[in-house]
Amino acid sequence: MKNTMFRRVVCSALALSLSVSCFVPTAFAETNDSLGTADESSEALTGTDSIRQNSYSKYLKKYEGTARPMIDEIVIKGSDYLPDSVSADLTMGAETSFEGVDDVFVWANQQGSVSYEVVIPQDGMYNLKMSYYALAGTTNDIEFSLLIDGESPYGTAQRITLDKVWVNDGDIGEDAKGNDMRPGQIEYPTWQMDKPLADVDGLYNEPLQFHMTAGKHVLTIESDKAQFVIGDIKVYNYKEPEKYSAPSSSEISKSSGQKIVLEGETASFKSSRTLYPTSDKTSYMTSSTKEYSPTKTRYNTIGGGGNWNQSTQAVTWEFNVPQAGYYKIGIFSRQDQMRGMYSNRRLYINGVVPNKESEQVKFFYDTDWNVVSPEDSSGDTMYYFFEAGANTLTLEAVPGEIGEIMGELDDVVFDINSYYRQIRQITGPSPDEYNNYMIDVAIPSIIDDFKNNAALLREEKEKIEKLSGSGGTEAETLEKMAIVLDKCVKKPDIIPEMMGQIKDNVTAVSTFINTYRMQPLEVDKLELCSDNVDFSDCEQTFFGTVGHGFQSFIGSFFEDYNSLSNDEDSSAQECWVTLGRDNAVVIKELIDSDYNANSDNKINLKLVQGGITEATFSGKGPDMALFLGGDYPIQLAVRDTLVDLTQFSDYEEITKRFAPDIMTLYTYDGGVYGLPCTQNFPMLFYRSDILEQYDIDPETDLATWDSIINCLPTLQRNYLEVGLRLPATATAGVTMVSAVTENGSTFAMMLLQQGLNYYNEDQTKTTFSEQPAIEAFDTWTKFYTTYSFQQQYDAFTRFRQGDMPVLINDYAFYNQLTAAAPEIKGCWSFRAVPGTKDENGNINHTANSEGTCCVIFNKSPDKDAAWDFIKWFTSTEIQTKYGNNIESVLGPMGRYSTANQEALRGLSWTTKEADLLLDQMNTQVEIPIIPASYGVTRNVMNAFRKVVNENENARDTLFWYNKDINDEITRKRADLGLD
């Protein structure tokens, strides 16, 4: 009996110990570092929500009902800054007057901070507006953080944006084939007076509000994207415009017989460089300053392709009114991007919103063109008064009613993401289905918050359906998320197994938010008409549509859409480009407007999709090619089809444009066969908001491979990961960049940081048998064997959701985050890749890069002329123009990775960002591409998999595969007659 009782006690104790152990997260890393304390983990769990506590929507709820005193404007002159507040890194201009405005503050560089004192008469919510002059610089806009008494009131105040003014760089031209030539977008420095500080996230129609108590306050502006002149800052309270009051019949009739036409593409001023003229070929009714053509390119609209879709983006037309009076306005437009919803524009006349109804003009979804005339609350056409002479009309994208709904959903997504990370810290990435983690006990607030968020999702869904006028819209995404939360509330025990569904549905809701916060609109023209004049008709007839389609079809047999060239001169050299059509058109426009216009040498540009190698060997290839990447240049060079560029007398001078070692990528057997166009290299990206929770300092804790390893216990204990790039395998005979030598390869970085390259001086064998290579390979594989790094992952999703707050990626990853993850703006940054510390304590951040180049083929009839052209294309001026023009066309996602170092500074990077990129660019040491690079790739990756997946010894495995690599190098050299 006693033995039985003893056994029961022992079994119970063992069961209890096992169940308790299930709640202790296990660190993946095996290091000498301690795992930290339980208090630290608890603090991290409760702190994940802190960054969102100061969201603007929650700030407004906190001060809901607070008075908004209608005070006289408080004017703070730019020159009235606090003398001791100007930071050391701010370059202050000496001028006190600037372009006709007195008492200014000239902020001549991009970085720094300055403060102003203001006395508030009474407690309340206030708005701020600023008069400023954007100095010409590299950035697309001005961005700064506003602090009140040393603290940021909410997240949006940390990234306030002021627009620059952009104009067409000349008129829309025409090439020799009759196609329009789109002008580039250039800055137009000018004073912008009394511009309210607005919500850059596109969620709120009114200017940002700030709570201030009566008495003295200090306003501080901190920036890395400044470079502007401050005229004044005004504290005021926004007052909604008065409702529309219809003029009398006699007043309306004072203007008679007038029709003023404003073509969309000829807009005078734009607030964004992406608002360039666009082309519509779908309708024969679209108006243009040129004659209609069913086959030629006509830039006849603005906003096409959804490039006028961000809140606060504004377009202004200047025009003359011959006769003062009241006019109705017809906006010939199409909103075919946001199905089931409408987009919104705020209408200004001479810089002022004339009435409440003009605060929001709606444009409903339709694939056809429509004439939208602003109406009052009764549905009657509104009339606007214009004085005779010069006037302006502005349309500004605003969020409308959908904005605040998206703001609420933003908070829901952030809350659920926060809980998702907390759950993951308890369960790990793969929860045990037999373990009851008691999530509702570990996180007491989760059930109530999930219940509230489910209710909020349904409430916002109903609002969206009311706005759209129909149920069953894409807002059903919100219902699906609510159902998942309901299940978690009903049965908390199943929360761990619901994590996959939570993650997928949060991603879907985030996508929904990013789509429906957009405000797309394409404008063909505007007409201002007297009451007795009708708007032009924009409705297509059946026979007109058929005729347009027939002419377009017949024309397609005669138009060469692949040849972008104008010049039919037989002496013109042919240049091929293998990019997208948008890129090729920008290059073509630069050639037409600059090179062909100023040179006796003529270039025919042709857009092709691959096939350069085959065309070259069949004798039908080009004289030159742009953006040739991978191992194409070397594979063509060893077969004696390319010109060695070192033969030109100014070769050495021209290469000073680029990073010191980049020519290695295009060098073979003493010759250089390409001039760099683009250069892509790795940077380390990190989520500053998440690392801050665990006291990880990116500047020190992410500086070296060893310091990253020391951070792994903290990160992995909380199921956070570090992402390294793992190249794909290349196969023999496939012409591509050698994957193991692509930029960001961990093995390559570690090897180069040890001072060793892949090959011996003659490139006849590898250096993989040397001790630094063995150590680099061993460390690389240990990241996956000892520290359980993932071999495959979705970098964008993992970084965006915060599961992988540290990762190494191509610096173009910046473009993707900027364009597609606006919700984490300000929560991430980048720095140099991890380095290796030498015996003197210096850190070597060397990495390698990849890129594309311009080449000249041996068949070129005039090699000096071809050299002149590729020198022109890779020059600082043209690379800067091309980069800025292509970003205008493609938006932030299309930011150009130029190889020209001076041109990189001329693109839309801040000074701080450009410094980081150029520092990394100048540390690059390139790995030569050889004919047998595919063999290196295949065998290094095979060795990697043997060690990681089959637990083989790293040293022995590398030795074994290195023999195959060297044998393949020898065989390939023999095949090509190189030995």
| Confidence at residue 267, expressed as pLDDT on a 0 to 100 scale | 97
Calpha distance 852→122 (Å, rounded): 61
| Confidence at residue 74, expressed as pLDDT on a 0 to 100 scale | 98
Calpha distance 227→434 (Å, rounded): 59
Cα angle: 487, vertex 492, 495; to 5 degrees: 75
| Confidence at residue 51, expressed as pLDDT on a 0 to 100 scale | 44
Calpha distance 669→661 (Å, rounded): 16
pLDDT in tens, 344-363: 999 999 999 999 999 999 99
Token output for 340: 């089931």
- Mean pLDDT over 757-763 rounds to 94
Element (H, E) at 134: strand 124-134
Residues 6+ apart with CB under 8 A from 490: none
Confidence of residue 630 (pLDDT cuts 50, 70, 90): confident
Helices (H), 623-702: 632-637, 651-654, 688-693, 698-701
Helices (H), 734-812: 746-753, 771-785, 795-801
pLDDT in tens, 897-920: 999 999 999 999 988 999 999 999
Nearest to 195 by CA among 224, 236, 137: 236
- Mean pLDDT over 203-222 rounds to 97
Element (H, E) at 913: helix 911-923
Token output for 21: 């152990």
Nearest to 576 by CA among 884, 865, 854: 854
Confidence of residue 727 (pLDDT cuts 50, 70, 90): low
Nearest to 277 by CA among 188, 371, 363, 183: 183
Calpha distance 335→318 (Å, rounded): 24
Nearest to 367 by CA among 264, 282, 474: 282
CB 270 within 8 Å of CB 314: yes
Neighbours of 67 (CB within 10 A): 11
Provide DSSP, 306-355.
GTS-STT-EEEEEEEESS-EEEEEEEEEE--SSTTSEEEEEEEETTB--S
| Confidence at residue 740, expressed as pLDDT on a 0 to 100 scale | 47
CB 691 within 8 Å of CB 11: no
| Confidence at residue 2, expressed as pLDDT on a 0 to 100 scale | 45
Calpha distance 737→747 (Å, rounded): 16
- Crossing angle between the packed helical segments 954-975 and 933-950, to the nearest 10 degrees: 160
pLDDT in tens, 311-343: 999 999 999 999 999 999 999 999 998 888 899
DSSP category for residue 139: S
Helices (H), 134-208: none
Element (H, E) at 630: none
What is the radius of gyration, based on Cα positions, of the chain? 31
pLDDT exceeds 60 at position 50? no
Nearest to 77 by CA among 219, 207, 223: 219
| Confidence at residue 14, expressed as pLDDT on a 0 to 100 scale | 40
Whole-model pTM?
0.85
CB 423 within 8 Å of CB 496: yes
Residues 516/517/520/526 CA torsion (nearest 10 deg): 130
Pairing of strands 342-349, 573-577: unpaired
Residues 6+ apart with CB under 8 A from 302: 264, 265, 267, 275, 276, 277, 278, 308, 315, 522, 523
Instruction: Return mean pLDDT, the chain.
Output: 88
Cα angle: 93, vertex 151, 72; to 5 degrees: 70
CB 133 within 8 Å of CB 98: yes
- Mean pLDDT over 681-710 rounds to 96
Selected residue with higher pLDDT from 50 and 817: 817
Strand partners, 575: 605, 624
* Range of lowest pLDDT (696-710, 741-755, 766-780): 741-755
Q: Please, what are the domains in the chain?
A: 55-236 (2.60.120.260), 249-399+520-540 (2.60.120.260), 573-680+851-923 (3.40.190.10), 682-848+930-975 (3.40.190.10)
| Confidence at residue 876, expressed as pLDDT on a 0 to 100 scale | 96
Burial of 154 (0-12, 13-18, 19+ CB in 10 A): buried
| Confidence at residue 181, expressed as pLDDT on a 0 to 100 scale | 85
- Mean pLDDT over 473-493 rounds to 92
Pairing of strands 603-607, 573-577: parallel
pLDDT exceeds 90 at position 177? no
DSSP category for residue 378: T
Calpha distance 105→108 (Å, rounded): 9
245: Cα within 13 Å, side-chain hemisphere: 3
Calpha distance 314→179 (Å, rounded): 28
27: Cα within 13 Å, side-chain hemisphere: 18
- Crossing angle between the packed helical segments 476-490 and 499-516, to the nearest 10 degrees: 150
Strand partners, 965: none
Nearest to 422 by CA among 502, 513, 505: 502
Report how far apart the first and last C-alpha atoms of the chain are (Å, whole number).
89
Q: Compute φ and ψ for 971, nearest 5 degrees.
A: -65, -45
pLDDT exceeds 50 at position 31? no
- Crossing angle between the packed helical segments 876-890 and 863-873, to the nearest 10 degrees: 60
Calpha distance 622→169 (Å, rounded): 32
Token output for 34: 């301690």
| Confidence at residue 175, expressed as pLDDT on a 0 to 100 scale | 78
Cα angle: 76, vertex 81, 84; to 5 degrees: 155
- Mean pLDDT over 407-433 rounds to 89
Confidence of residue 734 (pLDDT cuts 50, 70, 90): very low
Q: How far is CA 487 from the centre of its chain?
A: 36
* Range of lowest pLDDT (56-65, 466-475, 605-614): 466-475
| Confidence at residue 547, expressed as pLDDT on a 0 to 100 scale | 67
